[in-house]
Amino acid sequence: MDELHSKAQELQQAALEADKTQEEVSSSAVPQVQLSAAGLNKLISVVNKVVDLFDVSAVPDATEDGLISQELFNVLMMIIDSATEGGFDNIPSLESLTSEKQLPMFIAEVTALVNNQEYKNFLRSPSKEGSAPEGATEEPATEAAPSEQQMRDMFISKLK
């Protein structure tokens, strides 16, 4: 009887943890920031460079100013999550995208990541679930990824 009671408590705890996880996912939902169609389309064009590596269809262009679409958000999360999983540096953060002003820097960060050959190789590798492909090292080489300062310098030089 005690064992049954113990199992019931374990199941309740697991259910509470699942609810907590679901709340966390909901709280990290699509950023509620108004962006121009032109800005959204610049981001979409960068994101669409790697959608085929995730086996998803291209994100359609934005036709008007608005929020990040759920489809774009999902692909951005795939990019961010895979970069985190692969241990890459300078991973873009959706939390940093709070206004149109931050959009060019965010786009620059996403661009640097999707243009990184090591990142593309990581996405193409058959084992993305924990074990590294044969002959691969534990930490991916990051020399192709620019530092945060280099990203800022690139961004500033494009504004000139």
pLDDT surpassing 60 at residue 24: no
Geometric angle at alpha carbon 146, from 119 and 72, rounded to 5°: 50
Q: Which of 11-15, 28-32, 130-134 has the highest mean pLDDT?
A: 28-32
| Calpha distance 127→15 (Å, rounded) | 30
Q: Hey, where are the domains in the chain?
A: 1-29, 31-159
pTM for this predicted structure? 0.62
Summary count for the chain: helices (H), strands (E): 6, 0
Q: Is the pLDDT of residue 46 over 60?
A: yes
Is the pLDDT higher at 159 or at 93? 93
Identify the burial level of 112 via C-beta atoms within 10 angstroms of its C-beta, where 0-12 means exposed, 13-18 middle and 19 or more buried.
buried
